[in-house]
A and B are shown apart, each in its own frame.
Chain A
């Protein structure tokens, strides 16, 4: 009996439908995702369980107390105040500069060697480990400009920390803002040019308003990243022990000592003893809650103003 093509094909098609190896493969891949999910859930529940006693027993007191060597009296107030002050530096310095740089790269620059060089520099800056930015801050703001940033504490001041964080965030702001600008369709620009607008007028009244939600979302997310940064602040001398607010004016406050929420978590995490462990967990809960609020704001803004072209 001759074997025809028809026989071969029908045999192949009637083969095993249930593909065990295929399902195993899919299961393994799904497992990888579930492990990530499991880690996230474990991390959050573990921190919450550890933090519960502190948060329930002390509640608001934990949020309004200063740093202390005694665990039962230590609180996160100075960390929250410090972190918010640092964020003001980021918002005031890094956001305008970053958005302006993105506008140049997306709206003005042609494909020249200079433009390509700028793009390469920015992308590489975004990949520099954050601790290296700490070294930059230490060398430039704390040592070189120490007389301006903090004459009484060798430049290890709030101003130094803020400037360092602003520089750290700058490349991320540029990249996210450039992405938002790129998403604005060219027809909008062409329409504006067509009625005689100059480049700046096109950018000011057309491109920027349309890109604003995207830029805002991106910059808020980079703010969240800056809020959790620890390593550069440790390098430029955020206080990890304890200190008293003694600043008599705004200049003295800028030149004075500071700490941040993540730096406090770092110093507490290394303390031996269960009571400081609980404090660390409680401070982490506060940090994650702040990040959750910041990120949720960004997502709500995105969903509210997101525009499809």
Chain B
């Protein structure tokens, strides 16, 4: 008995341990407070908006918050066009690069080429916005689009978003393929399959959950991307409903920055201020759903190997 008592240590020492543990727990709890604050602040003002807005204002021919026209469909469509173009660019580039790095590259090539993706991932989105506006728009979009194309357009922003998302997709997809055990590859070679067949019919199907997750995370990032669109897509004051990627347009994120940088800034007076939070809540909901779904896929990979 007395030996056990001795192992418990002094009361002061145990008290100190409990206090320190409490401090660490509080630090971990801060993120819960932040999440609650995000949801409360978004939902509060979004509720104000929903209460004050007239339903007819939500279905007009465009998004013009300063003229009290809040056609959500316009900016959601803009968001989907930009994110869609981004994915068309990023999915083949990202997954192609990932298969090469995971299956084909020798350790030396891997060591020299992987940092390229890491550097590309580290480039801030404002810089890519400027690149989309000054290089992509005049050299890639202008020749392809019919007629005279404005410098600011959704397609250039979409490609910019694609470049931004490519390294993200590549790194997650490569991790997934890296996790595929070598025994599967060896079994495939043993049956006489070559490298290409092994990659396409064995490694990619085995890693498909992770690859799908990488695409979903990429889409989520593309939907939430702000600066590339705010710089390169144009349509500062508002935008008419349009499906044409060769024209300027607005996404949910760009609409939010446009409201915040407008000459009269966002103040509590009109509906423009609460509309900001309504759009924010919608964006938050969309990305949250995508992130939760991708998480499911990632967990499936982890469970299997």
Q: Report the separation of the CA atoms of residues A235 and B266 in the bound assembly, to the nearest whole angstrom.
A: 9
CA–CA, A29 to B95, complex, Å? 8
Interchain CB contact under 8 A, A230 and B124: yes
Q: A26-B196, A123-B295 are in contact. Are A235 and B256 (CB under 8 A)?
A: yes
Establish whether residues A170 and B34, one from each chain, have CB atoms under 8 Å apart when the complex forms.
yes
Question: Are the CB atoms of B97 and A33 closer together than 8 Å?
Answer: yes
Q: Does A213 contact B (CB under 8 A)?
A: no
Stretch at the interface among A34-42, A52-60, A68-76: A34-42
Within the complex, the shortest CB–CB distance from A184 to chain B, in Å, comes to 16
Interface residues of B in 111-143 (CB under 8 A from A): 113, 116-117, 119-120, 122-131, 133-135
With A40-B120, A230-B124 in contact, is A235–B27 under 8 Å at CB? no
Counting contact residues on chain B (CB < 8 A from A), the size range is 35 or more
Q: In whole angstroms, what is the CA distance A99 to B123 when docked?
A: 25
Partner of B135, one of A33, A46, A270: A46
Q: Which of B38, B92, B113 contacts A37 (CB 8 A)?
A: B113
The stretch that binds B, out of A84-92, A100-108, A249-257, A301-309, is: A100-108
Closest-by-CB residue of B relative to A285 is B127
Q: Is B144 an interface residue (CB 8 A)?
A: no
Residue in B131, B231, B265 whose beta carbon sits within 8 Å of that of A270 in the complex: B231
Distance, CA A109 to CA B27, complexed state (A): 13
> Are A237 and B260 in contact, with the CB atoms below 8 A?
yes
For residue A104, which residues in chain B have a CB less than 8 angstroms away from its CB?
21, 24-25, 27-28
B124 touching A97, Cβ below 8 Å? no
Q: Are B27 and A36 within 8 A (Cβ)?
A: no
The prevalent SS among residues of B at the interface is helix
Interface centre among B35, B42, B44, B120 (most CB of A within 10 A): B35
Q: How far is the CA of A35 from the CA of B35 in the complex (A)?
A: 38
What separation, in Å, do the CA atoms of A36 and B117 have in the docked complex? 7
Q: How far is the CA of A134 from the CA of B27 in the complex (A)?
A: 22
Q: Which of A21-37 contact B (CB under 8 A)?
A: 21-22, 25-26, 28-33, 35-37
Known: A103-B24, A277-B134. A124 touches B277 (CB 8 A): no
Closest to B7 in A: A196
Per the bound structure, the CA–CA distance linking A265 and B130 in Å amounts to 8
Partner of A22, one of B17, B195, B227: B195
Which residue of the partner chain A has the closest CB to B192?
A12
- Determine whether the beta carbon of A284 is less than 8 Å from that of B127: yes
Given contacts A29-B96, A108-B24, A200-B20, contact A36 B283 (CB under 8 A): no
A98 to chain B, nearest CB (A): 8
**A67 within 8 Å of B by Cβ?**
no
Given A29-B96, A29-B100, A32-B100, verify A108-B21 contact (CB < 8 Å). yes
**Complex contact B41–A33 (CB within 8 A):** no
- The secondary-structure label for the interface of chain A is helix
A240 at the interface (CB under 8 A from B): yes
Given A43-B135, A170-B34, A269-B133: A128 in contact with B192 (beta carbons within 8 A): no
Determine which of B24, B31, B41, B97 lies in contact with A136 in the assembled complex, contact meaning CB atoms within 8 Å: B41
Query: How far apart are the CA atoms of A295 and B120 in the complex, in Å?
Result: 13
Please name all residues of chain A whose beta carbon is closer than 8 Å to the beta carbon of B195 when the two chains form the complex: 22, 26
In the complex the two chains form, is A122's CB within 8 Å of B130's CB? no
Q: Give A227 to B24 CA distance when docked, in angstroms.
A: 27
- With CB as the reference atom, state the residue of chain A lying closest to B23: A100
Given contacts A40-B116, A231-B257, A280-B130, is CB(A129)–CB(B217) below 8 Å?
A: no
B238 within 8 A of A: no
> What is the CB-to-nearest-CB distance from B242 to chain A, in angstroms, rounded to a whole number?
21
Query: Do B194 and A129 touch across chains, with their CB atoms under 8 A apart?
Result: no
- Given A19-B196, A231-B257, also A131-B283 (CB < 8 A): yes
Interface flag for B99 (CB, 8 Å) = yes
B196, A287: Cβ atoms closer than 8 Å = no
Contact: B104 with A29, CB < 8 Å?
yes
In the assembled complex, A293 has its CB within 8 A of some CB on chain B = no
Which of B97, B131, B217 sits near A36, CB closer than 8 Å?
B97
- Give the chain A neighbours of B284 by CB distance below 8 A: 128-129, 132
Residue numbers in A under 8 Å from B146 (CB-CB): none
CB atoms of B122 and A154 under 8 A apart = no
Interface residues of B in 24-59 (CB under 8 A from A): 24-25, 27-32, 34-35, 37-38, 41-42, 44-45
Q: Is the CB of A237 within 8 A of B292?
A: no
Interface centre among B133, B166, B257, by most chain A C-beta atoms within 10 angstroms, is B257
Select from chain A the residue with minimum beta-carbon distance to B30.
A97
Residue A224 at the B interface, CB < 8 A? yes
Q: Are B283 and A35 in contact (CB under 8 A)?
A: no
- Given that A39-B163, A131-B257, A269-B130 are contacting pairs, would A22 and B194 also be in contact in the complex, using a CB cutoff of 8 Å? yes
A selection of 24 A-B contacts at a CB cut-off of 8 Å is A19-B196, A22-B194, A29-B97, A30-B100, A31-B96, A32-B100, A101-B31, A104-B25, A105-B28, A107-B24, A124-B35, A125-B34, A128-B38, A132-B42, A133-B38, A136-B37, A167-B34, A199-B21, A200-B16, A228-B124, A231-B226, A266-B227, A284-B130, A287-B126
Chain B residues packing against A (C-beta within 8 Å): 9, 13, 16-17, 20-21, 23-25, 27-32, 34-35, 37-38, 41-42, 44-45, 92-97, 99-101, 104, 113, 116-117, 119-120, 122-131, 133-135, 163, 166-167, 170, 192, 194-196, 199-200, 217, 220-221, 223-227, 230-231, 236, 253, 256-257, 260-261, 265-268, 276-277, 280, 283-284, 287-288, 291-292, 295
